[in-house]
Amino acid sequence: MTRLLILGCLLAIVLSLGSALISLVRNKGESSRMVQALTLRIGLSVLLFVLLLVAWRLGWIEPHVTR
Partner 1 sequence: MAHAPTTTASDKYYVPHGSPWPIIGSVALFTTVGGAAMWLNHVNAGPWLVTAGLALLIFMFIGWFGVVIRESEGRLYNEAVDRSFRMGMMWFIFSEVMFFAGFFGALLYARQFSVPWLGGEGTKLLTAVVRGDNFEAAWPTNGPGQIGGEFTTIPAFGLPAINTAILLASGVTITIAHHALRAGQRQVLNLFLALTFLLGFLFVYLQATEYIEAYTHHNLKLSTGIYGSTFFPLTAFHGFHVTMGAIMLVVVWLRCLKGHFTPTHHFAFEGVAWYWHFVDVVWLGLFIFVYWL
Q: Which residues of this protein are in contact with partner 1, per CB under 8 A?
A: 3, 6, 10, 13-14, 17, 20-21, 24-26, 28-30, 32, 34-35, 38-39, 41-42, 45-46, 48-49, 52-53, 56, 61, 63-67
Output 58 or 64, the one with its CB closest to partner 1: 64
> At its nearest, how many Å lie between partner 1 and the CB of residue 59?
13
- Contact between 39 and 16 (Cβ < 8 Å): no
In the chain, the amino acid numbered 32 is S
- Report the distance separating Cα 50 and Cα 28, nearest Å: 34
Helix (H) / strand (E) containing 30: none
